[in-house]
Amino acid sequence: MEEHYSVVAEEISRHFGDFVAVDRISFKVRDGEIFGFLGANGAGKTTTIRMLCGLLLPSSGKARVAGYDIYTESDRIKADIGYMSQKFSLYEDLTVAQNLEFYGGIYGLRREELSRTIAEAIATTDLKQHLDKLTRDIPAGWKQRLALTCAILHAPRILFLDEPTGGVDPISRREFWGLIYALAEKGTTIFVTTHYMDEAEYCNRLSIMHDGHIVALGSPRELKERYGKPNIEELFIDLVRRQSRAAEAGA
């Protein structure tokens, strides 16, 4: 059954000194689904994503990404995943085209292959008009598209997006989700973290994180029905309050 899952995490934790950022969480992401991580800042979303991408080693637990073990096969994982961080890690002093060439290049794409891939990618993301502009001169929404394009040049099987829509206007956000849907339709598995409630609704399945724990997991509809809430926002607030009360009672 394992090969039907893009990500399988079992009891993974990460400590920073005494602070427990992620506390023994387990979940599975199916191939081709859009899997969301919803949570407040500091809930442990970014730490989880960084562990799965090989940027951070877990303190304990097991996980497989694209079928590979994150401890021993991180090199193979890296070839199969794309990653876009909340900072849109781009070179502001380079042009849009130069950014694309660089990120394609570090995945080992050679000249002809590189220019063909870039041509295809910019056709879908509409970046053509900005190719020769300096990255610092284009609006945030376009930077976000550029960061996404850079992350998918090597046609990854799984795409990790860490709060990809921060600081971007609502229209750009909507369009960005259009691109994500298009990628998912082509079979790319999407793992996305967010703290926007409306974005959570766009996901096939959603896991709600609070204080390093997963407090609920299921499709948005299932979750709303299970807890009897009209929308994700109320559901989220209700869950977080319950957790805080439980924590106080425990203390």
Partner 1 sequence: MSARILAILRKELLHIRRDPRSLVIVFLLPILMVLLYGHAVTFDIRDIKLGVIDEDKTPAARELVEGMVSSNYFRVSGTLERREEIGEAFLHRRMIAVLIIPRGFGAGLGSRSSTEVQVILDGSNANTATVALNYIRAYFTSRSLQANALLLQLPIDLQPRVWYNPDLKSVNFIVPGLVVVIMMLICALLTSVTVARERETGTMEQILVSPVRALEIIAGKTLPYILLAFVDGLLVIVFAWIWFSVPFRGAPLWLLFYALIFIYTCLSFGIFISARVPNQQLALMFAMVSTFLPSILLSGFVFPLASIPRVLQLLSAIVPAKYFLVIIRGIMLKGMDGAQLWQPALFLVLFGTLLILISVKRFKINLEG
**Position 78 contacts partner 1 (CB under 8 A):** yes
Q: Which of 11, 60, 71, 87 binds partner 1 (CB under 8 A)?
A: 87
| Residue nearer to partner 1 on the CB measure, 89 or 129 | 89
Angle between helices 111-125 and 170-185 (to 10 degrees): 120
Q: Considering only residues 88 through 107, tell me which ones interact with partner 1, judged by CB under 8 A.
A: 89-94, 98, 101-107
Binding residues for partner 1 restricted to 32-71, rule: CB under 8 A? 53-57
Which of 122/206 has CB closer to partner 1?
122
Closer residue to partner 1, CB minimum distance, 110 or 248: 110
The residue (of 61 and 218) whose beta carbon lies closer to partner 1 is 61
For tokens 């996305």, the residue is 192
Q: What is the DSSP letter of 231?
A: S
Interface with partner 1 in residues 141-160 (CB under 8 A): 150
Q: Which of 81, 158, 180, 209 binds partner 1 (CB under 8 A)?
A: 81
Specify the DSSP element, H or E, that contains 217: strand 213-218
**DSSP-derived secondary structure letter, 136:** G
The residues binding partner 1 (CB under 8 A) are 53-57, 75, 78-79, 81, 83, 85, 87, 89-94, 98, 101-110, 150
